[in-house]
Amino acid sequence: MPSISIPVLVLWGDKDPFTPLDGPVGKYFSSLPSKLSNVKLIVLEGVGHCPHDDKPELVHEKLLS
């Protein structure tokens, strides 16, 4: 991730059972916005591992803004 210079939007479901925010992968991605100015993390409430399947309207709202 540090070598990526384009804007990165990370959408993460707070109910993800496979890669929870408090797990090692989640902690890594949660830390990125404070280290890299091009990374933005949005945690989606009530969403699991596949936000685009669970709540496509919410994902679209975040992507299109």
Digit-coded pLDDT (tens) for 11-57: 999 999 999 999 999 999 999 999 999 999 999 999 999 999 999 99
Rounded CA gap, 40 and 9, in Å? 5
Q: For residue 6, which amino acid is it? A: I
Does 65 have pLDDT greater than 90?
no
Token pair belonging to 35:
């280290």
User: pLDDT at position 13, please?
Assistant: 97
Q: For the chain, which residues make up each domain, given as ranges?
A: 11-64
The whole-angstrom separation of Cα 14 and Cα 20 is 7
Q: What is the pLDDT of residue 61?
A: 95
* Res. 6 pLDDT band, cuts 50 70 90: very high
